[in-house]
């Protein structure tokens, strides 16, 4: 059914594209520019709330000349599908995980590198810097650019009935990972059996024992009800993978200069808004998950860091990521 709906929406979007992102009324006056934004979260998720804020800010800053129409709940397809639609212009803007952008720009694979960031402050220091802005431009030749990021929390392992306190605890366990070569290699180095899978399939896979566990932030326990079937959550904090707001380059260039500035300012404002909402909703999610019977654990992360050290050497010596890697790691010094 979701595939059928996706085809319906895409057909409608393509039909709308035939007249461009700006339409003219019978008197020749410009009508409102409508930008279509797709993402895979439900309306209760803090990221959706931040995208609503983005939409409001765009409309406010352009005096209603530009509006953003949201398509949540993966209505228009998977993250890869909406990235491809953003390339072609069938979708104007999309919120996707940085890991989903790996196959489009190798630099984005950095964000899936376990323990790239030492702390949340280190993460923000990097993502609010020119390093992130440079990375956003690496897909320009592909037809889209990054606008901003949204905190997606730290990724941690959670399983049906076994806490992960040491890499050895992952031995023999089938762990769902995002479709990322880096995430797959991470679980292999830690001793688990990585199982790439779309996020929407995780609940059923846990329930039917197709997988033994997965890794994500606390919000997944409640917003997607994973806490109903996975009861052991371990704070390995092995990755902080941001969500990225991307936009079709042609659509951006069709906007007037002041409208472009408004979109960029609205993106920045929504990120600041998101930091507050994310922290509040994460706290609520933990309390709710505990009521669902989820137990939270805090393992020593030293052995997990040691297990994935070969990946750090790989990224440091890779031509496409080496400079970015060193600049990101250097930001730690700014916090000391």
Query: What are the backbone dihedrals phi and psi of residue 230, each rounded to the nearest 5 degrees, phi first?
Result: -120, 120
Instruction: Spell out where 2-80 has E strands.
Output: 33-38, 66-71
SS3 273: helix
Q: Please report the pLDDT score of residue 153 as a whole number.
A: 94
pLDDT for res 181: 86
- For residue 335, list its beta bridge partners: none
Question: Which phi and psi angles does 295 have, rounded to 5°?
Answer: -105, 135
CA angle 96, 226, 281 (to 5 degrees): 65
Query: How far is the C-alpha of 54 from the C-alpha of 84, rounded, in Å?
Result: 22
What is the pLDDT at residue 30? Answer: 63
Domain ranges of the chain: 2-150+241-284, 155-240+292-334
CATH topology for the 155-240+292-334 domain: D-Maltodextrin-Binding Protein; domain 2 (3.40.190)
- Which architecture, in CATH terms, is 2-150+241-284? 3-Layer(aba) Sandwich (3.40)
Residue 21's pLDDT is: 45
The beta strands (E) that lie in the chain are given as 33-38, 66-71, 93-97, 144-150, 155-159, 174-177, 193-196, 213-216, 232-239, 243-248, 295-297
Measure the CA–CA gap between 16 and 94, rounded to whole angstroms.
Answer: 17
Task: Provide the pLDDT for residue 28.
Answer: 41
Under 8 Å between Cβ of 101 and 84: no
Sheet holding 232-239, edge to edge: 193-196, 174-177, 213-216, 155-159, 232-239, 295-297
Residue 210: φ, ψ to 5°: -65, -35
Each of the 336 residues of the chain gets a pLDDT tens digit; together they read 444 445 445 555 544 444 444 443 444 446 899 999 999 998 989 999 999 999 999 999 999 999 999 999 999 998 999 999 999 999 999 999 998 999 899 999 999 999 999 999 999 999 999 999 999 999 999 999 999 999 999 999 999 999 999 999 999 999 999 888 889 999 999 999 999 998 889 999 999 999 999 999 999 999 899 999 999 999 999 999 999 999 999 999 999 999 999 999 999 999 999 999 999 999 999 999 999 999 999 999 999 999 999 999 999 999 999 999 999 999 986 666
């Amino acid at each position: 059914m979701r595939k059928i709906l996706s085809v319906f929406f895409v057909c409608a979007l393509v039909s709308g594209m035939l007249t461009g992102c700006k339409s003219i009324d019978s008197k020749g006056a410009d009508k409102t520019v409508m930008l279509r934004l797709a993402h895979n979260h439900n309306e209760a998720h803090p990221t959706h709330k931040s995208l609503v804020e983005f939409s409001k800010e765009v409309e406010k800053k352009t005096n209603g000349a530009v509006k953003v129409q949201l398509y949540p709940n993966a209505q228009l397809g998977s993250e890869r599908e909406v990235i491809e639609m953003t390339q072609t212009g069938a979708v104007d803007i999309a919120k996707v995980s940085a890991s989903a952008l790996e196959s489009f720009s190798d630099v984005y694979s950095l964000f899936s590198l376990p323990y790239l960031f030492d702390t949340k402050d280190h993460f923000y220091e990097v993502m609010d810097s020119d390093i992130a802005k440079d990375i956003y431009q690496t897909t320009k030749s592909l037809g889209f650019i990054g606008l901003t990021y949204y905190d997606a929390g730290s990724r941690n392992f959670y399983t049906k009935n076994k806490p992960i306190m040491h890499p050895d605890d992952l031995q023999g366990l089938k762990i769902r990972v995002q479709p990322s070569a880096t995430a797959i290699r991470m679980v292999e180095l830690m001793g688990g059996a990585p199982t790439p899978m779309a996020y929407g399939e995780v609940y059923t896979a846990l329930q039917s024992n197709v997988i033994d566990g997965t890794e994500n932030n606390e919000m997944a326990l409640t917003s997607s009800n994973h806490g109903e079937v996975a009861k052991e959550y371990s704070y390995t904090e092995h990755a902080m993978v941001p969500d990225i707001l991307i936009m079709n380059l042609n659509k951006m260039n069709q906007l007037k200069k002041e409208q472009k500035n408004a979109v960029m300012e609205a993106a920045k404002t929504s990120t600041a808004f998101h930091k507050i909402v994310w922290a509040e909703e994460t706290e609520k999610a933990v309390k709710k998950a505990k009521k669902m019977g989820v137990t939270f654990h805090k393992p020593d992360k030293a052995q997990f860091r040691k297990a994935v050290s070969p990946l750090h050497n790989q990224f440091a010596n890779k031509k496409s990521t080496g400079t970015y890697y060193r600049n990101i790691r250097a930001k730690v010094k700014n916090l000391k």
